[in-house]
């Protein structure tokens, strides 16, 4: 299947080749970053927890790179505790609410993670993160500790409470992702690489986080329900099922699809803020760092919309597609064109039979118009469809073979 994906999407094969040639192996990267000791181990953990995210962090301007690496690892540690279903509720809440103090405790580590926690080793060796965190400039430390405190408090709240209303849903997403947007934006401004206004317009920063988090929550419904939890707001799913298990059941598929499309529509509402925020970022490495997750998210929500497989499995965009997005997310113009094309994909999938047809049509139409008015040359037209590329490839191949055979006969 993977081979067939490459054959059917040859431009993604080129993107994969470009990525491999451009990105060094993990050990070589840390040499190029000129880090050693505990900070080298931190970058090792970054590679272990998220290879794709590690790549964009390691390409950040040196003024930000270490700080954002450590910010990511601290929040990853916090998230690992929140996700661990084996930690008793009271102990989990205590850890979450005190994590902003823990990051100042020399030698602290946690060895009680459940057997299935893939990032447990990070917490076992967390003292290396603490050691390097305390070397950061004081203002960076203050921002990271503040976000950690607020996020931990919010996570602790939702170990007791369920996501019932849409207000709960937006609040939960703010705690676990919107605050990340706040912290990153403040770090961008504090570094001097971005204008102070980036760290002050936190409503847009919040939307950046909410679009990513809502996309992930929408996509992960099957995995979450199987694990005994659900982050879809009850205000949506209870209209279509009497339990989370029924929501993803094949016997309730028509209603499950209505809930899925309603979740997608809610996520799409954040796109205008995302486009506006990205337009305010000027430093090239910061722009790519911000843009790549967002283009991945629009590709993912386009894949999820009106797709029954989401209820049965954890769907993901193709690796080649992801690499192509990484290669293309270089500037505001390119990113707008990516969003425009995926909005067209959603438009094509938005059947009049969908319960969210009108809502999604309005969001897509307005967003496409807003993007088109700011694009140089107007809305994008894709003259290089994948299948045309395939035809050109095979015509060229056959011409080469014919020429070779002809030359051989002569």
| C-alpha–C-alpha distance, residues 289 and 12, integer Å | 21
Per the residue annotation, which of 175, 289, 305, 339 is the catalytic one? 289
Separation of alpha carbons 326 and 319, rounded Å: 11
**Rounded Cα distance, 344 and 362, in Å:** 13
Indicate if 104 belongs to the active site.
no
Spot the catalytic one: 41, 65, 186, 219.
219
**Is 162 tagged catalytic?**
no
Structural tokens at position 310: 């989401």
CB–CB of 328/338 below 8 Å? Answer: yes
H-only helix segments in 305-384: 319-328, 332-349, 357-374
List the catalytic residue out of 99, 126, 140, 172: 172
Question: Looking at 53, 158, 229, 361, which residue is catalytic?
Answer: 229
| Residue tagged 């971005």 (tokens) | 194
Residue 65, Cβ neighbours under 10 Å: how many? Answer: 19
Token output for 221: 């419904």
User: Residue 172 catalytic?
Assistant: yes
Q: How far apart are CA 221 and CA 237, in angstroms?
A: 11
How far apart CA 391 and CA 153 sit, in angstroms, is 56
Residue 229 a catalytic site member: yes
DSSP single-letter state for residue 108 = -
Three-state DSSP state, 9 = coil
Give me the active site residues, please. 172, 219, 229, 289
């Amino acid at each position: 299947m993977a081979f067939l994906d490459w054959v059917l999407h040859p431009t993604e094969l080129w993107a994969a080749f470009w990525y491999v040639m451009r990105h060094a192996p993990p050990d070589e990267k840390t040499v190029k970053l000129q880090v050693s000791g505990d900070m080298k181990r931190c970058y090792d953990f970054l590679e272990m927890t998220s290879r794709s995210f590690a790549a964009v962090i390691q390409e950040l301007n040196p003024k930000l790179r270490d700080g954002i690496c450590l910010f990511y690892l601290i929040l990853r540690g916090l998230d690992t505790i929140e996700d661990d279903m084996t930690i008793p509720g009271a102990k989990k809440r205590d850890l979450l609410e005190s994590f902003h103090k823990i990051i100042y405790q020399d030698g602290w580590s946690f060895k009680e993670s459940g057997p299935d926690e893939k990032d447990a080793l990070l917490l076992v060796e967390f003292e290396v993160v603490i050691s390097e965190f305390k070397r950061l400039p004081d203002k960076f430390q203050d921002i990271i500790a503040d976000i950690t405190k607020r996020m931990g408090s919010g996570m602790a709240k939702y170990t007791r409470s369920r996501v019932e209303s849409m207000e709960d849903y937006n609040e939960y997403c703010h705690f676990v992702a919107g605050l990340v947007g706040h912290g990153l934006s403040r770090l961008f401004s504090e570094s001097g690489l971005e204008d102070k206004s980036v760290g002050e317009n936190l409503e847009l920063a919040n939307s950046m986080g909410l679009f990513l988090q809502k996309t992930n929550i929408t996509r992960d419904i099957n995995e979450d329900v199987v694990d005994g939890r659900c982050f879809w707001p009850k205000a949506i799913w209870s209209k279509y099922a009497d339990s989370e298990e029924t929501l993803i059941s094949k016997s309730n598929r028509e209603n499950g699809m209505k809930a899925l499309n309603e979740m997608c529509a809610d996520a799409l509402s954040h796109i205008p803020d995302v486009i506006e925020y990205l337009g305010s970022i000027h430093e090239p490495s910061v722009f790519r760092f911000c843009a790549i997750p967002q283009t991945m998210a629009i590709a993912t929500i386009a894949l999820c919309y009106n797709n029954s497989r989401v209820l049965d499995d954890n769907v993901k965009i193709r690796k080649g597609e992801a690499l192509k997005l990484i290669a293309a997310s270089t500037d505001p113009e390119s990113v707008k064109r990516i969003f425009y094309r995926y909005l067209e994909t959603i438009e094509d999938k938005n059947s009049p039979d969908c319960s969210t047809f009108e809502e999604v049509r309005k969001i897509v139409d307005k967003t496409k118009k807003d993007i088109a008015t700011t694009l140089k040359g107007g809305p994008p037209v894709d003259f290089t469809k994948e299948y045309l590329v395939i035809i050109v490839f095979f015509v060229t191949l056959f011409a080469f073979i014919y020429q070779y055979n002809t030359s051989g006969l002569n």
